């Protein structure tokens, strides 16, 4: 079998689904909160919603597709002007060699960022293609399933009005979630008043859900080291299961120092790329939980290596965000205990009828668990229109 075509299509839709549209205006601390002009909303500085769909077609007509975020429309030129040259004529089953050649060939402009997102989308397409060619779901090709259904945690709880936060948290407990994640309202730009606000937000949720439900909190890179130390002292009594991305992904020294200052486990990695990036996190003992995103870190082929490296150091992997690639990966990886899911909060307006999901047949969790289909490949279809 040989790769015959590589097609890249840009769509003005976010890979994060309806959440991305909502998060443009929802309150949450971000890395740009220290700049007054960008404090109000993430939408004030975030790129336009966009994704790239990469379709790889083999000479027998079998095809697979992968995707990644593409707000800047950089993916199509990277693949069409360069990477596709290293794909045409290759055997799509030889993913290790293909990945290594794409990575080596893109070093001067790649290593992290958009080039790695392009390689990730290609790799995801190749695994989908291999599944379709063999009639097997991707999790089987990866050596799974190790479980028939996967637990998901509820990831939402933006710091909106407190009555809605409490209603929302309560609703997740009623839906059977045993873990949920919130976002913080404030960072160093908001002074001491913001610290009290952050603490009150966490205290409110903990009081609502009781002690038997895990609570996590995402800083989305919005703090600095001293702020985080003081904030963690205030938060320890609420027994957070993890504190996510307190700092920029390159500031590993702050992560490592904060781990020595607080018993709260630290997580991160959604903005990290390749085994080399994750090896630095592991070497510096910077995090307790790694959260690779397969649409950024290098696809299945690279994520397998990252998960194996984590397993050898007693580090848990919990992939970033809900998507079908992460479900297949979790179903085949022993050190992934659960997957992130973005439920629509009970107080929120549902997506307008004009809003279209990217995929058909993506599984939806029920009672905080999700069951994978036995369809070949990734088991989903692209909405064509």
Residue pair 7/54 in contact by the 8 Å Cβ criterion: yes
Which range of residues in 5-13, 51-59, 86-94, 215-223 is near Mg ion by CB under 5 A? 215-223
Is residue 218 a contact residue for Mg ion (CB under 5 A)? Answer: yes
For Mg ion, which is the closer residue by CB, 31 or 194? 31
Question: Residue 329 Cβ, how far from Mg ion at the closest point, in Å?
Answer: 17
For 125, the token pair is 């397409």
Encoded one letter per residue, x for contact with Mg ion by CB under 5 A and - for no contact, window 219-258 reads -------------------------x--------------
Q: Which residues contact 92 (CB under 8 A, 6 or more apart)?
A: 1, 2, 3, 56, 58, 64, 98, 126, 129, 130, 133
Q: Whose Cβ is closer to Mg ion: residue 23's or residue 218's?
A: 218
Least Cβ distance, residue 215 to Mg ion (angstroms): 15
**Span near Mg ion by CB under 5 A; candidates 1-9, 117-125, 212-220, 362-370:** 212-220
Site membership for Mg ion, residue 293 (CB under 5 A): no
Q: Is the dihedral of CA 32, 19, 180, 120 positive or negative?
A: negative
Which of the residues 158, 201, 271, 320 is marked catalytic? 320
The Cβ-side half-sphere exposure at 133, using a 13 Å CA radius, reads: 23
Q: Is 320 a catalytic residue?
A: yes
Q: What is the C-alpha separation between 138 and 362, in angstroms, rounded?
A: 14
**Shorter beta-carbon distance to Mg ion: residue 29 or 115:** 29
How many binding residues for Mg ion (CB under 5 A)? 2
**69 touching Mg ion, by CB under 5 A:** no
Question: Whose Cβ is closer to Mg ion: residue 177's or residue 342's?
Answer: 342
Query: Which residues here bind Mg ion, judged by CB under 5 A?
Result: 218, 244
Task: List residues with catalytic annotation.
Answer: 320
């Amino acid at each position: 079998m040989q790769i015959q075509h590589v097609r890249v299509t840009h769509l003005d839709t976010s890979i994060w689904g309806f959440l991305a549209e909502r998060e443009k205006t929802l309150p949450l601390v971000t890395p740009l909160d220290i700049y007054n002009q960008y404090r109000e909303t993430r939408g004030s500085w975030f790129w336009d919603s966009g994704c790239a769909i990469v379709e790889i077609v083999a000479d027998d007509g079998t095809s697979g597709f992968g995707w990644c975020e593409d707000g800047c429309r950089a993916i199509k030129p990277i693949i069409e002007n360069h990477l596709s040259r290293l794909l045409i004529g290759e055997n799509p089953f030889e993913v290790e060699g293909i990945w290594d050649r794409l990575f080596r060939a893109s070093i001067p402009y790649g290593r992290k960022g958009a080039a790695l997102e392009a390689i990730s989308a290609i790799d995801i397409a190749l695994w989908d293609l291999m599944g379709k060619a063999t009639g097997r779901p991707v999790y089987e090709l990866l050596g799974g399933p190790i479980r028939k259904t996967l637990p998901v945690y509820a990831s939402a709880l933006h710091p909106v009005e407190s009555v809605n936060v409490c209603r929302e948290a309560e609703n997740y407990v009623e839906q059977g979630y045993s873990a949920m994640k919130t976002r913080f309202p404030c960072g160093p730009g908001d002074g001491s008043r913001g610290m009290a606000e952050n603490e009150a937000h966490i205290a409110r949720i903990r009081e609502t859900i009781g002690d038997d439900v895990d609570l996590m909190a995402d800083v989305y890179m919005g703090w600095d080291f001293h702020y985080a130390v003081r904030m963690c002292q205030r938060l320890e009594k609420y027994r957070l299961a993890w504190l996510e991305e307190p700092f920029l992904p390159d500031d590993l020294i702050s992560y490592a120092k904060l781990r020595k200052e607080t018993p709260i486990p630290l997580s991160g990695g959604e903005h990290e790329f390749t085994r080399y990036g994750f090896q630095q996190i592991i070497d510096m003992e910077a995090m307790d939980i790694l959260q690779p995103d397969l649409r950024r870190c290098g696809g299945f082929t690279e994520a397998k290596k990252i998960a194996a490296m984590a397993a050898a150091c007693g580090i848990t992997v919990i992939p970033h965000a809900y998507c079908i690639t992460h479900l297949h990966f979790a179903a085949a990886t022993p050190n992934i205990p659960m997957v992130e899911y973005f439920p629509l909060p009970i107080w929120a307006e549902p997506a307008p009828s004009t809003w279209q999901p990217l995929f058909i047949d993506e599984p939806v969790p029920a009672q905080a668990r999700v069951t994978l289909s036995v369809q070949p490949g990734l088991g989903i279809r692209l909405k064509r229109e």
